[in-house]
Amino acid sequence: MNLIKKMLVAPAAVLALWAVSAQAATNEEIAERIKPVGEVCIQGEECKGVAAVAVAAGGGAKSPEQVINTHCAACHNTGLLGAPKAGDSAAWKARADAKGGLDGILQSAISGINAMPPKGTCATCSDDELLGAIKQMSGL
């Protein structure tokens, strides 16, 4: 009987050690598979080990012509949905008078007005770029 116990204890011990080592390896493999592949670095925050990245490609301010041709021309060249036409100084002057000048028109452009979405679909345009486009289209 004693011999049978010895014969059963040895394989049981080996099996137990194998199970523990397999579990440890499995946990390590799982941890390796689910570890983060990177970190989120938000612009303006200090991020360790991350070089400063240039903001959007294209570098520098957009010219009024670029803004108009890319974002404004579809509506303002045709007067679509009541938009004042580019070059129609009388229509733009009437709007400027009603809004308190070019700054009032700029505020309407920034927040959107009637069918025009905020910033006229140019979410990346600065206020100065929008103002330049307004001045170019209005002739004011």
Domain with 82, as residue range(s), is 64-138
In a domain, 32, yes or no: no
Residue in the structure block whose two tokens are 């903001």? 55
**pLDDT confidence of residue 132:** 93
In a domain, 100, yes or no: yes
Q: How many domains does the chain have?
A: 1
In a domain, 33, yes or no: no
Measured at the CA of 58, the angle between CA 61 and CA 131, to 5 degrees, comes to 25
**pLDDT confidence of residue 94:** 92
Exposed / middle / buried, residue 44 (Cβ in 10 Å: 0-12, 13-18, 19+): exposed
Instruction: Tokens for 108, please give them.
Output: 């309407």
Q: Which of 129, 108, 139, 140 is nearest to 65 (CA)?
A: 129
What pLDDT, in 10s, does the model give residues 75-122? 999 988 889 999 999 999 999 999 999 999 999 999 998 889 999 888
In a domain, 35, yes or no: no
In a domain, 98, yes or no: yes
What pLDDT, in 10s, does the model give residues 12-49? 888 887 777 766 667 888 888 888 888 788 877 787 76
Q: What does pTM read for this prediction?
A: 0.57
**pLDDT confidence of residue 36:** 87
